[in-house]
Amino acid sequence: MKTKMGTLRVKTMEELNEALKQLDWQVLSPGGAASMLGVSRAYIHQLEKNKRIRAYRLKTNFDKKGLSNIIQLLISSSKGADYIYIPIVDLEEYRKESKPKAKK
């Protein structure tokens, strides 16, 4: 069975840890992935969107206790941040597929 590609949302840190454990923790951030392939982070996100690589995402939840009203408002009005991890195996596979063919 082919592995599902694209964005893979997880709901808890435990679920994320389990997914990463199955990958033997061989993952990179989008910046690390971009560096590995010699491309921009935006290109990595495009590969995710086009379902060429997997990206495990966990939405962060901010504890608003003790924060000023202004900070709480800013946090609640923002989209929030994601923890994003990309399997190295997907990047290696993409690099193999996208390698230019030798001319005859």
Of 75 and 7, the one with more pLDDT: 7
CB atoms near residue 58 (< 10 Å): 20
* Model confidence band, residue 101 (pLDDT cutoffs 50, 70, 90): low
Q: What angle do CA 80, 16, 23 make, to 5 degrees?
A: 130
Q: What is the pLDDT of residue 3?
A: 77
| Domain assignments of the chain as residue spans, ordered by start | 6-98
Q: What is the pLDDT of residue 32?
A: 96
Instruction: Report the side by side order of strands in the sheet with 27-28.
Output: 6-9, 54-59, 82-87, 27-28
Q: What is the pLDDT averaged over residues 28-37?
A: 96
pLDDT in tens, 13-27: 899 999 999 999 999
Q: Average pLDDT over the chain, rounded to whole?
A: 85
